[in-house]
Amino acid sequence: LAASCFFYGCWDWRFLSLLWISTIVDYTCALLLDRRTRPTAHTEAEPDSQGYHYGARARKAILGVSLAANLGILGFFKYFDFFAQGFADLLTGIGLPLEPRLLHLILPVGISFYTFQTLSYAIDVYRGQLRAVRSLTDFAVFVTFFPQLVAGPILRARDFLPQVCRPRRFELDHIYHGGYLILWGLFKKVVIADNLAILVDRVFEGQSGGYYGGAVLVACYAFAVQIYCDFSGYSDIAQGCARMMGFDFPANFNLPYFSTNPVEFWRRWHISLSTWLRDYLYIPLGGNRKGTRRTCINLMLTMGLGGLWHGAGWTFLLWGVYQGVLLVGYKLVQPAIKRLLERPLPLSRLLVQALAVAGFFQLVCLGWLIFRCQSLTQLGLMLEAVASPWPWWILCGANSITGTGLPILLCYAAPLVLMELAQRWKSDLGVLLRVPAPARGLVYACLFYGLILFGAPDGKPFIYFQF
């Protein structure tokens, strides 16, 4: 606990108070709820001897305190300027000019992650699916555990708190496994993501002299690889650090770019966030239980808010809406796709699968173009550049950003795909622990020297630190 607080305080000690406010509020609210909540069938522990409820209004009020405190802090620091500026622009548009007073607040690092993490705990206790933990220290470790504090994955109390409470013992396999995850995560971040960031920034920050269709396409594909390596790299590092200390984190990624549809993609990409949105937003809104129309509305609301979770900006909101449109569209055409696949096809199933993966990847990359643009104006210019005629052969030009960028992209993407496939095929590194120690050491050495030899000259912060 002390190490986690020190780790977070090294960035800005003033925001430790916000972290502890969320911790104490949810710890207290959960105790009040648990004291008067009869556990459901999903609860492992037996109900206490009193076994009675608060009234429904009182219980909702207690949960409301948790929601108001956590979402109030998050909204104030992350969204105040965004909504203030948006409201002022709206008034200006109808002839009532207003100059808003913006606060320009520093966004506390990791606030979106730990807010969702503590909220899920309070909601689970409210639902009777979890008993409140009595030890403030144990709960504080759950909230502040430093490997995942600033960029996830978003942990669930039901999975992590039992690990905090039970004794742990040193195991050499945990060191081997955790060390590999850390090295592989650093390799993806420092060697692949940071090197591709140089190419991506040249285009998106206008350093290439303008927007050209070929350059935008290459930068868009490069950003798809960059953000995956950047974010999954951090998740690997966090998982490796936790594994070394005897804790298990859930997987946060599972080959998302091999998805054939948006539903599958969100089961593979940022799994801890997508499952959080499903369990605490989509299903409470009604999920798919109230007809097609209501399902589509719920999907749009969930993904729109999921987009805003990433950042206070119109491009993030549009990205969330775009993801919602993909999910709604797939929901509507899914029955027709199933009927089509039940018929004999002139192509092999493997080829159809490959075409589906390649086709859906284009839609994913369009989403990343929306995500990466700094404004709607920039997005419009880039889409116009891609749609305008441009000579395809400049992709092979040695002196253009596209001609140099495409080989660089392929050079980094190819080994990444092979390594990721090999890891999943071998049951998530289990084979690594069974190979002889010299071979295992060779793998570690290759990754370590790869970091030194091929690491980007200028390191960049993790992309998801800003969320």
Q: Within the chain, which residues score under 50 in pLDDT?
A: 39-52, 208, 398-399, 403
Could you give the CA distance from residue 360 to residue 372 in angstroms, rounded to a whole number?
19
Beta carbons within 8 Å of 357's beta carbon, 6+ residues apart? 257, 258, 259, 260
Backbone angles phi, psi at 36, to 5 degrees: -125, 20
The predicted pLDDT at position 52 comes to 45
Model pLDDT for residues 293-343, shown as the tens digit of each residue: 999 999 999 999 999 999 889 999 999 999 999 999 999 998 888 887 777
Domain residue spans of the chain: 2-165, 172-466
pLDDT at 233: 92
Max Cα–Cα distance, the chain, nearest Å = 77
- The single residue of 174, 177, 270, 310 carrying the catalytic annotation is 310
pTM of the prediction? 0.87
- 310 labelled catalytic: yes
Task: Quote the pLDDT of residue 216.
Answer: 87
The confidence score (pLDDT) of residue 425 equals 60
Closest C-alpha among 83, 127, 138, 80 to residue 104: 80
Instruction: Find the length of the chain.
Output: 467
pLDDT tens digits, one per residue of 65-88: 999 999 999 999 999 888 888 878
pLDDT at 249: 92
